């Protein structure tokens, strides 16, 4: 099992200490679908957004495992799952590809603002016509001298309504296949970019998402991240880290929910004893624990392999399936074990159920993860 150093524990504890302040007022914000700007600032001041950013660019230079360890605590301590989801998008969407593939000018200009939280970031892959088959994207980036001109639309862009920087994946080649996609950094005030209004949704309601429209949107060729045509590999690199970072938050959320459900089952009385003394209930709680621990171990072990540079395509897909389905089951079991109270807004469990469900869809749906595993099995 993994053990953590005093420095890693120190970073984790800083987020645990913020838990109350991050969670305060979250139910009202959920109702209003309002982004928690004050709590965002708390996370920025705590250095969360700079965790994986190298020190010369103002970050803390932490590795993937440490970043995940701290994010797990965010999920455990913070009841605003939308805030946590937006925070993981901030960490992964633009800073990660920029740091690994970006050239020095682009890194020097943007990474310090991303690490400090001054610039909010998003990434745009999905299009209104479909997201599962990213290679079929229609948005184009046509080279014109020392510029690229973008045309097309993206949708469901997390943080989009409030973002300053977008990593946009667009088609630069005409031939089908992986070599036709390029990652381009687009600043919000670029003429030709229209940022749509926030789209109302069922869960993660404090994390806004929206459409983006590009109409002859001209960006300097210098804004290309990596080489033209390398976007698919950048996307693959980013998605692995997105899945590990956003779903380790779910693991933290499940841990908190398990603690809370055990407490309830020990103290809520029935005619013959506490709710939890009934084997039917106790077994459901045990299954919550088994799914949580299995998914948790798998996620950290996969991150360890990622850090060693191993091929983790199947491991990441399995991890996403394990964590997302465990989170939905955990939320629905907790709701059920809390009886009628579980169904009330006051107890917050119905919100957790709504927040868990989109995990089956974002970062590649469960069907797509299974397709990926089937392909690797030679099917
Ligand atoms: C909360 C949330 C946040 C998101 N954030 C972002 C973001 O920041 N940036 C971004 O670009 N996108 C984002 N998305 C979009 C997300 O990545 C897509 O919704 C997802 O990839 C599915 O694409 P789609 O919605 O177009 O569904 P479709 O691709 O139209 O799929 C519809 C259904 O068909 C199934 N299906 C499709 N193709 C296959 C196949 N080949 N085999 C089997 N089943 C298949 C899918 O599993 C799904 O059930 C977000 C989505 C949500 C819900």
> Could you read off the pLDDT of 330-345 as tens digits, one per residue?
999 999 999 999 999 9
Is residue 259 annotated as a catalytic residue, yes or no? no
Over the stretch 213-232, which tens digit does the pLDDT of each residue have?
999 999 999 999 999 999 99
- The number of the ligand 1 atom at minimal distance from the alpha carbon of 367 is 47
* Rounded mean pLDDT, 259-284: 97
> How far does the centroid of ligand 1 lie from the alpha carbon of residue 361, in Å?
5
Q: Is the Cβ atom of 88 under 6 angstroms away from ligand 1?
A: no
pLDDT band at 173 (very low <50, low <70, confident <90, very high): confident
Q: Is the Cβ atom of 367 under 6 angstroms away from ligand 1?
A: yes
Residue % of the chain over a pLDDT of 70: 100
Model-level pTM? 0.98
pLDDT band at 177 (very low <50, low <70, confident <90, very high): confident
- The number of the ligand 1 atom at minimal distance from the alpha carbon of 371 is 42
- The number of the ligand 1 atom at minimal distance from the alpha carbon of 160 is 8
Q: Which of 362, 364, 372, 379 to mutate to test the pocket of ligand 1 (most atoms within 8 A of CB)?
A: 362
pLDDT at 176 over 80: no
Query: Radius of gyration (Cα) for the chain, nearest Å?
Result: 21
Mean per-residue pLDDT of the chain: 97
- Which residue owns the Cα nearest ligand 1 atom 35? 367
Among 323, 322, 328, 325, residue whose Cα is nearest residue 356:
328
377 CB-contact burial (10 Å; exposed 0-12 / middle 13-18 / buried 19+):
exposed
Q: What residues form DSSP beta bridges with 150? A: 141, 217
> How far does the centroid of ligand 1 lie from the alpha carbon of residue 283, in Å?
34
> How far does the centroid of ligand 1 lie from the alpha carbon of residue 145, in Å?
35
Catalytic residue among 73, 127, 211, 242: 242
Over the stretch 104-121, which tens digit does the pLDDT of each residue have?
999 999 999 999 999 999
| Strand-pair category, 209-220 with 224-225 | unpaired
Over the stretch 34-43, which tens digit does the pLDDT of each residue have?
999 999 999 9
Helices (H) and strands (E) in the chain, counts: 13, 10
Structure-model confidence comparison of residues 134 and 75, the more confident one = 75
Q: Is the Cβ atom of 158 under 6 angstroms away from ligand 1?
A: yes
Q: Is the Cβ atom of 361 under 6 angstroms away from ligand 1?
A: yes
Distance CA 376, CA 281 (A): 38
Distance CA 369, CA 192 (A): 35
| Strand-pair category, 165-171 with 181-187 | antiparallel
- Which residue owns the Cα nearest ligand 1 atom 51? 362
Residue % of the chain over a pLDDT of 90: 97
Q: What is the torsion angle, in degrees rounded to the nearest 10, for the CA atoms of residue 374, residue 375, residue 378 and residue 379?
A: 60
The predicted pLDDT at position 175 comes to: 79
Instruction: Kindly state the DSSP code that residue 120 receives in the 8-state scheme.
Output: -
Distance CA 74, CA 66 (A): 13
- Interaxial angle between packed helices 231-267 and 64-77, expressed in degrees from 0 to 180 and rounded to the nearest 10: 40
The predicted pLDDT at position 1 comes to: 65
Q: Which of 88, 94, 121, 131 to mutate to test the pocket of ligand 1 (most atoms within 8 A of CB)?
A: 131
pLDDT at 168 over 90: yes
The dihedral built from the CA positions of residue 22, 350, 251 and 167, taken in this order, carries a sign that is: negative
Distance CA 55, CA 360 (A): 35
The predicted pLDDT at position 178 comes to: 86
């Amino acid at each position: 099992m993994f053990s953590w150093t005093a420095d890693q524990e120190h970073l984790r504890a800083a987020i645990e200490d913020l838990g109350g302040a991050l969670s305060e007022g979250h139910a009202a914000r959920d109702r209003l679908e309002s982004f928690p700007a004050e709590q965002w600032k708390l996370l920025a001041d705590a250095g969360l957004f700079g965790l994986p950013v190298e020190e010369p660019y103002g970050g803390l230079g932490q590795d993937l495992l440490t970043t995940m360890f701290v994010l797990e605590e965010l999920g455990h301590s913070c009841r605003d799952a939308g805030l946590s989801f937006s925070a993981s998008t901030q960490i992964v969407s633009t800073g990660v590809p920029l740091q690994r593939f970006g050239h020095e000018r682009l890194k020097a200009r943007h990474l310090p603002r991303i690490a400090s939280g001054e610039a909010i970031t998003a990434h745009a892959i999905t299009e209104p016509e479909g997201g599962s088959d990213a290679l079929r994207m229609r948005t184009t980036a046509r080279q014109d001298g020392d510029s690229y001109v973008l045309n097309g639309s993206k949708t469901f862009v997390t943080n989009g309504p409030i973002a300053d920087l977008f990593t946009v994946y667009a088609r630069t080649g005409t031939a089908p296949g992986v070599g036709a996609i390029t990652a381009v950094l687009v600043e919000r005030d670029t003429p030709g970019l229209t940022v749509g209004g926030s789209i109302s949704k069922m869960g993660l309601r404090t994390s806004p998402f929206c459409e983006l429209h590009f109409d002859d949107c001209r960006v300097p060729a210098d804004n290309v991240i990596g080489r033209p045509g390398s976007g698919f590999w950048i996307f693959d690199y980013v998605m692995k880290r997105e899945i590990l970072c956003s779903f380790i938050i779910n693991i933290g959320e499940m841990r908190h929910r398990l603690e809370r459900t055990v407490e309830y089952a020990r103290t809520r009385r029935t005619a013959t004893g506490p709710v939890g003394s009934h084997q039917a209930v106790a077994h459901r709680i045990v299954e919550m624990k088994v799914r949580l621990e299995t998914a948790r171990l798998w996620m950290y072990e996969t991150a360890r392999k990622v850090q060693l540079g191993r091929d983790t395509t199947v491991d990441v897909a399995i991890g996403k399936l394990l964590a997302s389905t465990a989170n939905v089951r955990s939320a629905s079991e907790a709701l059920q074990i809390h009886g009628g109270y579980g169904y009330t807004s006051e107890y917050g469990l119905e919100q957790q159920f709504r927040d868990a469900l989109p995990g089956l869809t974002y970062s590649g749906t469960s069907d797509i993860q299974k397709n990926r595993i089937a392909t690797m099995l030679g099917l």
